[in-house]
Structure 1
Amino acid sequence: MNTTQHTLIILAILLMAAALLLVGAALLARAWRLKRNLATVEQKIAAHDRPSAAPDIQTPGWRDRLMALSANWIDTPVGRQFVAEEDRHLLDQCGVNDLRGKSLFFVARIVLAIGFSVLGLLLFAREGWLSVLLILFFGIALGYMLPKWVMQRVAIKRQRSAAEELPLLIDLLRLLQGVGLSVDQSLHVIENEFSNVLKVLGEELAIAGRQYSTGRSREQSMRRFSTVFDNEDLHAVSRLLVQVEHHGGAVQEPLKQFSERIREQRKLDMKERVGKLTVKMTGVMVLTLLPGLLVITGGMGFLAVIRALSKMGANI
């Protein structure tokens, strides 16, 4: 295959990608126009119902338009392939599982998959269909998985933060319950007064509080809090709060025992990490300190043996 044929293949692939983008853009534009028309009708109806109200219509920017277009695809079969249930749970763990977060995740996957494929074809394409297919495969796969890898790192960081904040949350709950506040009042105080300390758990408690204020039961509002980070201790705390809400009773002693158990578990985990670190440092010490130690302790002896052997060779 000569250079001209290779160039024509790349151009054909680029034209096909451009055609697919145009078709998708046309469909998204049509959906956006329908949504805009519906919003305009709703605004007119609202203005007719309130004639004294001044109109407040802002022209959306290109980012808002892009978010609106991608939001129309989130719950379609294509959107559920790009933002699956596992990805939505991952976005929950990152604290961005709203319409904007899902739309950004959806757009990032599409843009990166197409961008990496085109960039790979322009930089690394060789003669033959096999190289083109490999570049397309790895470009699409890398663009599809890169946003998920980034979100996984953010989710792991938030999980660690939640585990570190849990003992403080339990102590605050025990203290507030000890002064006579109810569960609802205690959670409200933690949300408003300690959000700068409990950055992750405070945000989750705020979401649970908003759900509870809209009419959901305590069990329903705490379901996300207990399952979002896949942490058994958080699940146990939420279950304890639900039981106290339903049946009442003293909660200071169970919270105290629970806090002591968590701190003891953290001590055991720290000892395990120190033990693993000691084993790893043994190999480092053998590779770095042992040669220097041998030179210091046995260097003079080796030199004496070498000099003696050299003198014996000179005498012979």
Structure 2
Amino acid sequence: MVVAVVALVAGLALLANEAVRHVRQRRVESRVIDRALQLPSTSGTTDAETEHEEHGWQVVVRWLDLLGKRFERSRLGQALITPEDRMLLGQINRNTGEGRAVFLGLRLALAMAVPLPVLLWQAPSGFRAFVVFIGAAAFGLIAPKFALSAWAQRLRKRADSELPLLIDLLRLLQGVGFSVDQSLQMVADRFQEAMPLLSREVGDANALYLRGRSRMQSLHRLCEFDNDGLKTLVQILVQVHEHGGAVQEPLRQFGDRLREQRKLRMKEQSGKLSVKMTVVMMLTLIPALMVVLAGPAVISLIASMTKLQGH
């Protein structure tokens, strides 16, 4: 166990030393470039302010980015960044080179850092130490993926809950004479409080469209949420944008069908909930009911047996 702990500490120290060296080198290079490009009015910026801006979580993110890029092209990195991970990163809008590198670096860092406190706390020996080390490393490797899945699932639920309002707003804006582009721009600009997630995604899609992307390419982010309603809405908007025509009636029919599907889903969930509540009632209500109903009879029986024993 001592050998494993020493090897682990040595590996972490080497990685940390190399990461800090690279971070400092990049920081010096960025300072030189900034000093060469900065205006005379901003030349009074001190190094202390730059140091203050790069403290905290930014240094951690840089270190994770460096660690992930070091192993991203290796077989280990390709095995840890699966197509499912790319899909989940896309759902949280982090499927970029930096996002994948930070995710990979976080998995590798936790896989190396978690076993050390576990070994010091458990203090196993022999083969049990090896098993604890492997288990702790596996937990550190899998935990970021579970957190990523939970984050993506939460965003999918938010997108699904905001979808009916988005459809109603688009239909309303179409009814007052707005085009598809104007409607999407209005949703991104004016309804950020009502639809925080979808309004931000629509705003990003509008920005991509203004940069030269096609309407289908700009709205592709909405299809990454793995929501059939959003995919159908994107298809409707793309068809109307390419071929023209009125979109108000298709949106009304789509909204009605979506509400019917939600009603059926709610009925299904309520039916499952009643079955689950039956088990809860059997475990909690029936014992209390038996105590209330059978309690007086048991008490009287005990009193009668006490009297018989006294005689």
Q: Deviations over 1:104-144 (max 9, x none)?
A: 5344323322232001111113221x112111111111111
Q: Which residue of 1 aligns with 2:86?
A: 88
Q: Is the 2:111–2:138 Cα contact (8 Å) retained in structure 1?
A: yes
Q: Which residue of 1 aligns with 2:281?
A: 285
Instruction: Check 1:28–1:296 CA distance in 2 against 1; reply closer, same or farther (3 A cut).
Output: closer
| Matches of 1:132 and 1:95, distance apart in 2 | 40
Question: What SS does the aligned partner of 2:124 have?
Answer: coil
| Matches of 1:310 and 1:32, distance apart in 2 | 84
The alignment status of 1:179 with 2:176, answered yes or no, reads: yes
Q: Which runs of 5+ in 2 are unaligned?
A: none
| Matches of 1:127 and 1:211, distance apart in 2 | 58
| Matches of 2:183 and 2:305, distance apart in 1 | 84
The alignment status of 1:18 with 2:9, answered yes or no, reads: yes
| Matches of 1:230 and 1:25, distance apart in 2 | 38
Instruction: Check 1:211–1:82 CA distance in 2 against 1; reply closer, same or farther (3 A cut).
Output: same
Cα offset for 1:284? 2.5
Cα offset for 1:71? 2.5
| Matches of 1:104 and 1:146, distance apart in 2 | 14
What amino acid does structure 1 have at the position aligned with 2:120? L
Q: Is the 1:125–1:131 Cα contact (8 Å) retained in structure 2?
A: no
Q: Which residue of 1 aligns with 2:193?
A: 196
The alignment status of 1:232 with 2:242, answered yes or no, reads: no
Q: Is the 1:71–1:99 Cα contact (8 Å) retained in structure 2?
A: no
Instruction: Check 1:157–1:135 CA distance in 2 against 1; reply closer, same or farther (3 A cut).
Output: same
Q: Which residue of 2 aligns with 1:5?
A: none
Once the two structures are overlaid, the 10-residue window that deviates more, 237-246 or 204-213, is 204-213
Q: Is the 2:61–2:102 Cα contact (8 Å) retained in structure 1?
A: yes
Cα offset for 1:197? 1.0
What amino acid does structure 2 have at the position aligned with 1:71? D
Task: Name which of 65, 73, 76 aligns with 1:71.
Answer: 65
Cα offset for 1:46? 3.7
Map 1:199-278 → 2, pairs under 5 A: 199-226=196-223, 228-278=224-274
| Matches of 2:143 and 2:249, distance apart in 1 | 46
Question: What SS does the aligned partner of 1:196 have?
Answer: coil
Instruction: Check 1:34–1:215 CA distance in 2 against 1; reply closer, same or farther (3 A cut).
Output: farther
Cα offset for 1:206? 1.9
RMSD: 3.3
| Matches of 1:205 and 1:187, distance apart in 2 | 7
| Matches of 2:270 and 2:228, distance apart in 1 | 24
Cα offset for 1:175? 0.6
What amino acid does structure 1 have at the position aligned with 2:282? V
| Matches of 1:25 and 1:115, distance apart in 2 | 11
| Matches of 1:38 and 1:244, distance apart in 2 | 50
The alignment status of 1:147 with 2:144, answered yes or no, reads: yes
Q: Is the 1:29–1:69 Cα contact (8 Å) retained in structure 2?
A: yes
Q: Which residue of 2 aligns with 1:114?
A: 112
Q: Is the 2:115–2:136 Cα contact (8 Å) retained in structure 1?
A: yes
Instruction: Check 1:22–1:239 CA distance in 2 against 1; reply closer, same or farther (3 A cut).
Output: same
Question: What SS does the aligned partner of 2:114 have?
Answer: helix
Larger radius of gyration: 1
* TM-score, structure 1 normalization: 0.80
What amino acid does structure 1 have at the position aligned with 2:62? A
Question: What SS does the aligned partner of 1:126 have?
Answer: coil
| Matches of 1:70 and 1:299, distance apart in 2 | 64
Task: Name which of 54, 59, 78 aligns with 1:61.
Answer: 54
Once the two structures are overlaid, the 10-residue window that deviates more, 74-83 or 115-124, is 74-83
What amino acid does structure 1 have at the position aligned with 2:5? L
Q: Which runs of 5+ in 1 are unaligned?
A: 1-8
Instruction: Check 1:67–1:300 CA distance in 2 against 1; reply closer, same or farther (3 A cut).
Output: closer
Q: Deviations over 1:27-84 (max 9, x none)?
A: 435544664565456446645xxx7664467345244344334324334435555544
Cα offset for 1:176? 0.7
Q: Is the 2:12–2:112 Cα contact (8 Å) retained in structure 1?
A: no
Q: Is the 2:64–2:106 Cα contact (8 Å) retained in structure 1?
A: no
Q: Is the 2:159–2:198 Cα contact (8 Å) retained in structure 1?
A: yes
Q: Deviations over 1:164-209 (max 9, x none)?
A: 1111100001011111111111111111111111122112212212
